[in-house]
Amino acid sequence: MATVTGTLDISSLLAVKFQSVAEYGMDTIERVLRADLEAHNAIVADMVGSFCEMTTDRQCIYGTSIGGEMVEVDEFGLAPTQRAIPGATVGFPLRLFQFNIGWTAKWMQTKTPADMAIAVLAAEKAHLRKIQYEIKRSIFGSANFTFRDHLVDNVDLAIKRFINADSVDIAEGPNGETFDGTTHTHYNTSATLTAAAAKANIDDVIEHGFGAAVRGAISKTDETAFRALSGFTAYQDPRLILPVASTAQAGQRLDISRLDNRAIGIFEGAEIWVKPWMIANYFFAWDNASPSKPLAFRQRAATGLQGLRVAALNEDYPLYAKDMEAELGLGVWTRTNGAILYFANVTWADPTIT
């Protein structure tokens, strides 16, 4: 009889329902789970990479260049020295999150590899939900705050938001635009969703030099209203037979595989996406192609402490653990590469995040 060969993965563990973990072999299970967690953490890094800078730094200087003036002088004149003011410090929090699994010696004797695989999959899903929550909290919170780095040395970190009229100097735009740090804000409001308000929100990003691939994100709830805006060009549904049109039509086809996570068209040069993490009545714009990402995703410097992992009670027995855990934190990095429009009131309100 031919030997069945292949690579063990977590689906192999899910199939083992009538044998205990101890009987199946803890070394084999540990290799499978380690490989699965590595794959999961790689997927997470790719998922957040479009608008998060992966970092181990806890704070950085947010760069700025204050414009000066060319002064006319005669042949013996000397213009006064004009000093550039350095940027402000932005900090990134680090928080510890746990998912209880309770893998004791007795648990290993009585539970199956399928039970273990189910616990890991549940922890991975919880990890993704927590990252999504932290992303929303970073994007939609409008007020700066101080975070005590209690997992390291209790140093207070200044956590900044997108530009929010906090009197910090703002770099000039690419065409010499200047901005008043006491009044300029990227937390915009409108009583209703209008084309003018949505365009102004996009322009808040573009005027700071971002324009390679501007994207806008909306909730599925607001898709119909956004499609109705003047200037919106929808991607075409491939299931429809479209008549010959006298006006320009989008060349890209509409993705029909995920109704709550897809690009739906173009508005004022920005590609508009429906995103499952977006909140109703808010419109977020950013430059997806810029190397200066809107957010920073902070982790520990030690690679063994990055991502979701099994928090072993004894490193010699890596599956004996009470919890799976992840240390991470998100904060705004490039304060100008992001703008949010709240279009349900003329007064800004931070949303309730769930």
pLDDT in tens, 121-143: 999 999 999 999 999 999 999 99
Q: How many domains does the chain have?
A: 1
Residue 250 has pLDDT above 70, yes or no: no
Q: What is the pLDDT of residue 2?
A: 46
Q: What is the pLDDT of residue 299?
A: 96
CA distances 257 to 150, 239, 253, 260, Å, are 43, 12, 12, 9
Tell which wins on pLDDT, 319 or 127.
127
Q: What is the pLDDT of residue 10?
A: 72
Is residue 32 assigned to a domain? yes
181 with 167: CB under 8 angstroms?
A: yes
Is residue 143 assigned to a domain? yes
What percentage of the chain exceeds 90 in pLDDT?
57
Backbone dihedral region for residue 209 (phi beyond 0: left; psi -120 to 50: alpha; all else: beta): left
- Over residues 94-120, mean pLDDT: 90
Q: What is the pLDDT of residue 131?
A: 94
Is residue 326 assigned to a domain? yes
Amino acid at 278: M
What is the residue whose two structure tokens read 């322009």? 203
Is residue 74 assigned to a domain? no
Residue 328's nearest CA partner among 118, 114, 126 is 126
- Over residues 302-329, mean pLDDT: 88
Q: What pLDDT, in 10s, does the model give residues 215-247? A: 999 999 999 999 999 999 999 877 665 665 555
Q: Which range in 103-117, 170-184, 290-304 is most confidently predicted, on average pLDDT?
A: 290-304
pLDDT band of residue 257 (cuts 50, 70, 90) is low
Is residue 348 assigned to a domain? no
Q: What pLDDT, in 10s, does the model give residues 33-85? A: 889 899 999 988 888 888 899 999 999 987 665 556 677 777 777 777 666 55
Is residue 300 assigned to a domain? yes
User: φ and ψ at 280, to 5 degrees?
Assistant: -55, 140
Is residue 152 assigned to a domain? yes
Is residue 99 assigned to a domain? yes
- Over residues 278-286, mean pLDDT: 97
**Range of weakest confidence among 11-20, 75-84, 127-136, 152-161:** 75-84
Q: What is the pLDDT of residue 177?
A: 86
Residue 337 has pLDDT above 50, yes or no: yes
pLDDT band of residue 336 (cuts 50, 70, 90) is very high
The residue ranges of DSSP E strands in the chain, in sequence order, are 52-55, 59-62, 88-91, 95-103, 145-148, 156-159, 187-189, 214-218, 232-234, 262-267, 270-274, 282-287, 295-298, 309-314, 317-332, 339-342
Total-model pTM:
0.84
pLDDT band of residue 354 (cuts 50, 70, 90) is confident
Q: Which range in 251-260, 285-294, 312-321 is most confidently predicted, on average pLDDT?
A: 285-294
Q: What is the pLDDT of residue 251?
A: 57
CA distance 168 to 300: 29
Q: What is the pLDDT of residue 51?
A: 84
Q: What is the pLDDT of residue 197?
A: 98
Host domain of residue 158? 10-66+85-342
Q: What is the pLDDT of residue 260?
A: 75
